[in-house]
Chain A
Amino acid sequence: MSDTPLVEMRGITKRFGGVTALSDVDLDAYAGEVLAIVGDNGAGKSTLIKILTGVYQPTAGEMFLAGERISFASHAGAIAKGIDAVYQTLALADHLDPPANMFLGNELTKKVMGVTVLDIARMRTETERVLMDRLGVTLKSLDSPTESLSGGQRQAVAIARAVYHEDLRVLVMDEPTAALGPQETARTLNLIETLKAQGLAIILISHSLDEVFQVSDRIHVQRRGKRVGFVRTTESSNQAVLGMIIGAKEAA
């Protein structure tokens, strides 16, 4: 566990018109660790990560990646710096097969008689490779539409899309297990462990404290647009974090 955070957000404030969604929030995420962000609905969790992934721009505040100051005009800018997100809705095109989804917007091509066409075969083998090597997942079929896969498998495809970029350093996961059954949830948590072991900084938004205590290294508690707690998971307890979430106890 390194001492300096990979991602630092300092004094982030975001206002939507007259509504202040975030006021002066700090965030620290470390490489090779899972940072869980917890908090009630409307606490500003999603806004915070949308600023980190370039979907929103902060009203005030600064962000640093490995000490270098970063700011993004768009989500694509964040991806270029190695920060990507897996959304709750997974952002998959259900009618396309997994390789097509994995390379959506970023297709591999080849030249046939001077004309650029999609390289279907290479995208297929690459998908198989990334799923196997990075996530340890094999799919029953890479040729059927993604809609025929289970929730967990669909999620693996969405994660594979993010980790395909070799320079990915920070992966944000927005409630990855919200729509999954117990068995698939366990698999997803395993996936998170696998990715963490590969040195990524994982930022996990979750409503399930059990899950948070199972996989996270640090917990960031968000309440009413502010960071009200930032603790090491091993030094805290379910009760203490719950107290911070509902505002019974203010942590330093």
Chain B
Amino acid sequence: MAAGDTQAVRTLNERIEPYFAIIGPMAMILALLLFMAIVEPARYFRWSNVNLILLDAALYMPMAMAMTFVITQRGIDLSVGSIAALSAIIMAFLIKQFGFSVYFALPIALGLGALMGLVNGLIITRFNVPDLIGTLAMDLVYRGFALVIAKGLVLARFPELITEIGRGRLPGLIPIPVVIGIATMIAGFVLLRRSHFGRYTIAIGSNPEAAELTGIAVNRHKVYAYVLCGACAALAGVMLTGKLNAIQATSAPYFNLHVIAAVVVGGTSLFGGRASMIGSFAGVLLLSMMINALVTLRIEFFWQSVASGVVIVSSVALYSWMQKKDRDGAGGLIAALMTSEGQKLTRFSAFIIGALILLLAIGAIFAGNPQASG
């Protein structure tokens, strides 16, 4: 049988399966673009708004890159927000209080982030604390340190290097943070596909026992992922400081879930083994576009959190449904939807989506400029 024949035998479903990861967020991005093109094209598609979206997305790109490795290894890091805040606070103090040169303070901040990641990794691998609990607890520790150091202070006005990293632009209109963000994503892609670390990351997430048997230092590579995650969180902290030209202990509160959401929406499996760097990139873009859309539509800021949660749940549910191979009448996606179980699922999803739209409508009615009471 010729090679062509076997190709033709593979069903459409089988052929597109490897690309599910990227199709998911792409479809959602397209849907969002379409929706915004109808509802609010003038303000959403302005160049200055595109710029805003990119600036927001750039902040999350380094962390999403590192989180892709952590999640692929069946881990999770719930401390990136605090690591970002604490590293940035310490850098700010070194510069403002102790007169450190920014060229020293910046590498120190990145190094501290890596150190905090190392502590996370060691707690998880040496003390066998489950990653969820370990990083959640360390999140409190790091946030606590940040509060202890900064008290309620807002540190502001930083040297040019920091603000350039956070909001500068290269000649030719490309913002520097976007360049940094995309560069880290590309580095992550190469690391994932072309390095031992990337390959072992997938192997560890896919089958930890097998990885151990083939002689891979499983714990060491787990620690590497957390160190990378810590360093990238510190980088994000620096970028945030530069973007706002200010930092305080309570900065970056929503980083954790936002980054995890972006990675998961991008098709990286929470159950380990399946990684998609391009998906994470698309996931970051999607979340930033979505949040920007909410702002453009003048929906209250606090709805962001609702929207992020809904996107996470629906994408994880969608991926596990598509992964389920032993579906009855495994003909195709449409056929699967037609089974009684599939119809039940569809009705349930429709109900939830309907409820959310209702909530959103209520929110839209009550949204408006807050008025002083009393």
* A interface, CB within 8 angstroms of B: 75-76, 87, 89-96, 100, 104-107, 117-118, 120, 140, 144, 148
Contact = CB atoms under 8 A, between A and B. Distances in A.
5 contacts: A76-B215, A93-B207, A100-B203, A104-B199, A104-B214
Contacts of A92: 207, 210
Contact of B273 (A89, A91, A95, A144): A95
Interface SS of chain A = loop
Interface residues of B, number: 22
A27 B340 CA distance: 58
Interface SS of chain B = helix
A92 B203 CA distance: 8
A89 B208 CA distance: 12
B194 A118 contact: yes
Contact of B202 (A90, A96, A105, A106): A96
A117 B56 CA distance: 32
Contacts of A94: 206-207, 273
Nearest to A55: B213
B274 interface: yes
Interface of B: 6, 14, 18, 190, 194-196, 199, 202-203, 205-207, 209-211, 213-216, 273-274
Contact of A96 (B18, B199, B209, B215): B199
B216 A91 contact: no
A93 B210 CA distance: 7
The 7 closest A-B pairs by CB, nearest first: A105-B214, A95-B273, A93-B206, A91-B210, A93-B203, A95-B206, A105-B215
A108 B273 CA distance: 21
Nearest to A85: B213
A118 B201 CA distance: 14
Given A92-B210, A105-B215, 4 more contacts: A93-B210, A95-B274, A118-B195, A144-B18
Contact of A117 (B194, B203, B207, B211): B194
Contact of B195 (A104, A106, A117, A144): A117
Contacts of A106: 214-215
> Which of B190, B207, B274 has the most chain A CB within a 10 Å cutoff?
B207
A95 B202 CA distance: 7
> Which of A91, A92, A93, A94 has the most chain B CB within a 10 Å cutoff?
A93
B196 A118 contact: yes
A96 B216 contact: no
B194 A104 contact: no
A96 B203 contact: yes
> Which of A105, A118, A120 has the most chain B CB within a 10 Å cutoff?
A105
Nearest to A140: B6
Contacts of A75: 213, 215
Contacts of B202: 93, 95-96, 100
A103 to B, nearest CB: 9
A89 B215 contact: no
A35 to B, nearest CB: 23
B307 to A, nearest CB: 30
Contacts of A140: 6
Contacts of B196: 107, 118
B68 to A, nearest CB: 14
Contacts of B199: 96, 100, 104, 107, 118
B10 to A, nearest CB: 9
Contact of A89 (B190, B209, B274): B209
Nearest to A148: B14
Nearest to A158: B210
A104 B212 CA distance: 10
A107 B215 CA distance: 12
Nearest to A87: B213
B209 to A, nearest CB: 7
> Which of B203, B210, B211 has the most chain A CB within a 10 Å cutoff?
B210
A95 B205 contact: yes
A97 to B, nearest CB: 10
A107 B211 CA distance: 13
Nearest to A119: B194
